[in-house]
C-alpha cells in the first residue's frame, strides 16, 4: 500500500513550542503525546470538513455536548513503526478505517471517509516523524477518536461531531519477552451482549470493563476473561483483546457474533495461521470445554491478541472453582511464533506478500 500522490494535502499549523522527547527505554503505554493532532469537523448537511493538523492541545467543548451525556464516542488504535532503513510504516490502516466506519453506524455516528482517515493519519505521522521511536519493540501509537459535540440535551444523535487523531511513542509491552499473565474468569458481569455495541470500538465498552478489571487486580490478576452475557459460559474476549486458544493442535477463537470486537490483530493471526496450514476454527468455546480440555491435557495455549501487546499469553485462568494453569504457566510455541511473525512483518523484517505495510 502506498500513499496516494493525489491525496489532498491537509493544512498544517506547526507548534511553536515542541515538547521534549521522553527516553525510549521507559516509554510505557499512553503516557506521552506527540506535538500535533489531526482534527476534522462534521456538520449535518455539510459532512466532514475542515481537516487540519494543529498543535496538540485541549479541545473546547460545550458542557451540554452530547458526548458528555449520552456517550456518543468511539475510537481506534493502530501504530506507526520505524523500519530498519529509517522509514516509517503503518500496518493495515485501511482495516482501522473500515472498522471505524462500520462501527459508527451502530452508534449513530456519521462514518468518516476511509481515505480521509488513512491519508490524514499518514500526513499526521509524517508531520511528527521525529516522534516515531526506533528502540526495539517501540512504536508511535495512533489514537483516532470521534466525539459528538452538539450542545443539546434531548436524547437523539448529535448533529455535529469532531474526529481527531492524537499519537504518542509507546514501549514494547513486554520488555523481556512474552510474560504470561493471570486472568480472572468473570462469571457475573459482562463486557457486551449480542445485539448491543460490543462489535464497535465504543468508549462505553471500556467503561463497562473498568470495575471488573480493578477487582481482578485486587485478586492478584492482571486482566479479565469475559464470558457471553446470556449463559455466562462461552469465552469471548480477554482484557481489551481478542481471545485465542490452542486445543489439540487447532487454533480456536470465538466467532464474531456481535458482542466481540473484530480485531485487526485477530484477523492477522487467523490469516497467518491459515498460511501455515495450521487448523483454525472460529467457533463457540465453553468454560466446560476449557476445563475438560485442561483435564485431558489438550488445552495447550491461551492468549490474547490486540494492537497494543500483539500477543499476551495467559498463564493462569483463576476463578472461584480454582486455577487452570496453561502450559505450566509458560508461553507456548504458537503464541511465540505468531508474535515473532507479526512483529517481523510490522517492522519490515519479513516480506509483505499481502501489502499490509503502508510505508510513508
Ligand atoms: C488493544 O489491546 O490493542 C487495545 O485495544 C488496547 C487499547 C484500548 C489501549
Q: Is the pLDDT of residue 3 over 60?
A: no
Identify which of 226, 307, 342 to mutate to test ligand 1's pocket (most ligand atoms within 8 A of the CB).
307
Predicted local distance difference test score (pLDDT) of residue 257: 86
Of the candidates 38, 47, 50, 45, the residue with the CA atom closest to the CA atom of residue 117: 38
Predicted local distance difference test score (pLDDT) of residue 213: 94
Ligand 1 centroid – CA 5 distance (Å): 31
The DSSP code for 228 is -
Instruction: Show Cβ contacts of residue 154 under 8 Å, excluding neighbours closer than 6 positions.
Output: none
| Ligand 1 atom at shortest distance from the alpha carbon of 304 | 2
- Average pLDDT for residues 49-65, to the nearest whole number? 97
- Average pLDDT for residues 208-231, to the nearest whole number? 95
| Ligand 1 atom at shortest distance from the alpha carbon of 307 | 3
Reported in sequence order, the residue ranges of 191-286 that DSSP labels E, i.e. its strands, are 223-227, 235-238, 241-247, 250-253, 280-282
CB of 73 closer than 8 Å to CB of 203: yes
The grid coordinates of residue 48 equal 466532514
Predicted local distance difference test score (pLDDT) of residue 236: 97
| Ligand 1 atom at shortest distance from the alpha carbon of 240 | 2
Q: Whose CA is nearest to atom 8 of ligand 1?
A: 240
Condensed to tens digits (0 to 9), the pLDDT of residues 266-322 reads 999 999 999 999 999 999 999 999 999 999 999 999 999 999 999 999 999 999 989
Query: At 105, is the secondary structure helix, strand, or coil?
Result: helix
Above pLDDT 70, what percent of the chain? Answer: 97
The mean pLDDT of the chain is 95
Condensed to tens digits (0 to 9), the pLDDT of residues 258-270 reads 999 999 999 999 9
Give the pocket of ligand 1 (CB within 6 Å).
77, 240-241, 306-308
| Ligand 1 atom at shortest distance from the alpha carbon of 206 | 8
Identify which of 209, 269, 308 to mutate to test ligand 1's pocket (most ligand atoms within 8 A of the CB).
308
The model carries a pTM of 0.95
Predicted local distance difference test score (pLDDT) of residue 293: 97
174 — pLDDT class (breaks 50, 70, 90): low
- Cell 510455541: give the residue: 333
215 — pLDDT class (breaks 50, 70, 90): very high
Say what the ipTM of the complex is: 0.93
Q: Is the pLDDT of residue 1 over 90?
A: no
Condensed to tens digits (0 to 9), the pLDDT of residues 69-106 reads 999 999 999 999 999 999 999 999 999 999 999 999 99
Q: Whose CA is nearest to atom 5 of ligand 1?
A: 240
Residue ranges and CATH numbers for the domains of the chain are 24-172 (3.30.470.10), 181-346 (3.20.10.10)
Predicted local distance difference test score (pLDDT) of residue 173: 72
Handedness of CA 66, 67, 69, 75 (dihedral sign): positive
Identify which of 306, 311, 343 to mutate to test ligand 1's pocket (most ligand atoms within 8 A of the CB).
306
Distance of CA 273 to the CA centre of its chain: 20
Ligand 1 centroid – CA 309 distance (Å): 8
Predicted local distance difference test score (pLDDT) of residue 291: 96
3-class SS string, 39-80: EEEEECCCEEEEEEEEECCCCCCCCCECHHHHCCEEECCEEE
Strand partners, 357: 91
3-class SS string, 288-355: HHHHHHHHHCCEEEEEEEECCCEEEEEEEEECCCCCEECHHHCCCHHHHHHHHHHHHHHCCCCCCCCC
Ligand 1 centroid – CA 263 distance (Å): 10
Predicted local distance difference test score (pLDDT) of residue 34: 98
Predicted local distance difference test score (pLDDT) of residue 176: 62
Amino acid at each position: 500500500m502506498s500513499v496516494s500522490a493525489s491525496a489532498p494535502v491537509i493544512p498544517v499549523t506547526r507548534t511553536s513550542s515542541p515538547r521534549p522527547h521522553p527516553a525510549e527505554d521507559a516509554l510505557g503505554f499512553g503516557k506521552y503525546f506527540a506535538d500535533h493532532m489531526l482534527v476534522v469537523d462534521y456538520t449535518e448537511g455539510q459532512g466532514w470538513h475542515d481537516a487540519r493538523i494543529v498543535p496538540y492541545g485541549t479541545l473546547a467543548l460545550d458542557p451540554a455536548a452530547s458526548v458528555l451525556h449520552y456517550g456518543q464516542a468511539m475510537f481506534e488504535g493502530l501504530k506507526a513503526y520505524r523500519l530498519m532503513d529509517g522509514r516509517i510504516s503503518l500496518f493495515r490502516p485501511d482495516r482501522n478505517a473500515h472498522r471505524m466506519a462500520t462501527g459508527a453506524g451502530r452508534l449513530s455516528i456519521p462514518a468518516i471517509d476511509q481515505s480521509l482517515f488513512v491519508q490524514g493519519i499518514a500526513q499526521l505521522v509524517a508531520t511528527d516523524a521525529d516522534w516515531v521511536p526506533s528502540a526495539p519493540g517501540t512504536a508511535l501509537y495512533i489514537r483516532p477518536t470521534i466525539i459528538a459535540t452538539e450542545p443539546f440535551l434531548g436524547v437523539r444523535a448529535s448533529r455535529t461531531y469532531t474526529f481527531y487523531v492524537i499519537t504518542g511513542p509507546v514501549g514494547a509491552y513486554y520488555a523481556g519477552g512474552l510474560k504470561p499473565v493471570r486472568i480472572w474468569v468473570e462469571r457475573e458481569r459482562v463486557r457486551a451482549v449480542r445485539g448491543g455495541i460490543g462489535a464497535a470500538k465504543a468508549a462505553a465498552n471500556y467503561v463497562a470493563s473498568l470495575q471488573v478489571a480493578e477487582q481482578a487486580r485486587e485478586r492478584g490478576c492482571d486482566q479479565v476473561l469475559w464470558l457471553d452475557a446470556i449463559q455466562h459460559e462461552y469465552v469471548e474476549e480477554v482484557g481489551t483483546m481478542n481471545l485465542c486458544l490452542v486445543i489439540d493442535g487447532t487454533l480456536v477463537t470465538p466467532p464474531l457474533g456481535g458482542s466481540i470486537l473484530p480485531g485487526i490483530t485477530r484477523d492477522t493471526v487467523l490469516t497467518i495461521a491459515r498460511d501455515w496450514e495450521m487448523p483454525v476454527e472460529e467457533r463457540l468455546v465453553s468454560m466446560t470445554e476449557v476445563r475438560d480440555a485442561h483435564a485431558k491435557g489438550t488445552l495447550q495455549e491461551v492468549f490474547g491478541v490486540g494492537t497494543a501487546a500483539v500477543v499476551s499469553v495467559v498463564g493462569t485462568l483463576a476463578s472461584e472453582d480454582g486455577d487452570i494453569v496453561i502450559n505450566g504457566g509458560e508461553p507456548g510455541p504458537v503464541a511465540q511464533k505468531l508474535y515473532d511473525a507479526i512483529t517481523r512483518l510490522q517492522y519490515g523484517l519479513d516480506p509483505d506478500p499481502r501489502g499490509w505495510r503502508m510505508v510513508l
